[in-house]
Chain A
Amino acid sequence: QVQLVESGGGVVQPGRSLRLSCAASGFTFRAYAIHWVRQAPGKGLEWLAVISFDGTEKKYADSVKGRFTISRDNSKDTLYLQMNSLRPEDTAVYYCVRGSSWDWGQGTLVTVSS
């Protein structure tokens, strides 16, 4: 079955960087667009970014444009989110989500705090 496993979360100081990964299995990864979505503690969901099946097209939410970069390695069935210049308001659980069917991973927690 479709499985998406996020990793790379943790505690990071404001202004620093972090890279999240999302390992996919159970489907043909290279055939699907993939999204990143986050959820701050006790808050709603926020869409962050999407990358096309082949990595040629990327779109971002205004809140992360210029700071976050989405990428993928179809040879490794893995999605990435490079997060730079992190702020306390970036504290959230980050989910990767398969496009079209909107299947979700379990998420990884990022805490931005000094």
Chain B
Amino acid sequence: DIQMTQSPSSLSAFVGDRVTITCRASQGIGNDLGWYQQKPGKAPKRLIYLASSLQSGVPSRFSGSGSGTEFTLTINSLQPEDFATYFCLHHNTYPPAFGQGTKVDFK
């Protein structure tokens, strides 16, 4: 099974900061990776698909990059509504696997 290692597990930031979150796959997954945002008590919302494609309706301050085993989610100019938990998901093979999540909160 492919494992996803996500870092950091949490981070504190100011509004306006640039934030970077990383996921590493235990073996190559091409670009079969998505990034999700989850707020407390809510279902996850997809931000990025196929590693770097922006989901319709998602602000352009969110971007994804990477392929193979290393992937990055970047949030440029963090906004108050962006404080949430973020996680990656690979769907290259079964079973799909999630990263452990990164909680982004106020510094």
Residues of chain A touching chain B, judged by Cβ–Cβ distance below 8 Å, are 35, 44-47, 50, 59, 61, 95, 101-107
Give the bracket for the number of chain B residues in contact with chain A: 10 to 19
CA of A103 to CA of B42, assembled, Å: 13
Q: Is the CB of B98 within 8 A of A47?
A: yes
Instruction: List 11 extra interface pairs beyond A47-B96, A104-B43, CB under 8 A.
Output: A45-B87, A45-B98, A47-B95, A47-B98, A50-B94, A95-B43, A95-B44, A101-B49, A102-B36, A102-B89, A106-B42
Q: How many A-B residue pairs have CB under 8 A?
A: 38
Give the secondary structure class of A's interface: strand
Q: Give residues in B with beta carbon < 8 Å to A.
A: 34, 36, 42-46, 49, 87, 89, 91, 94-101
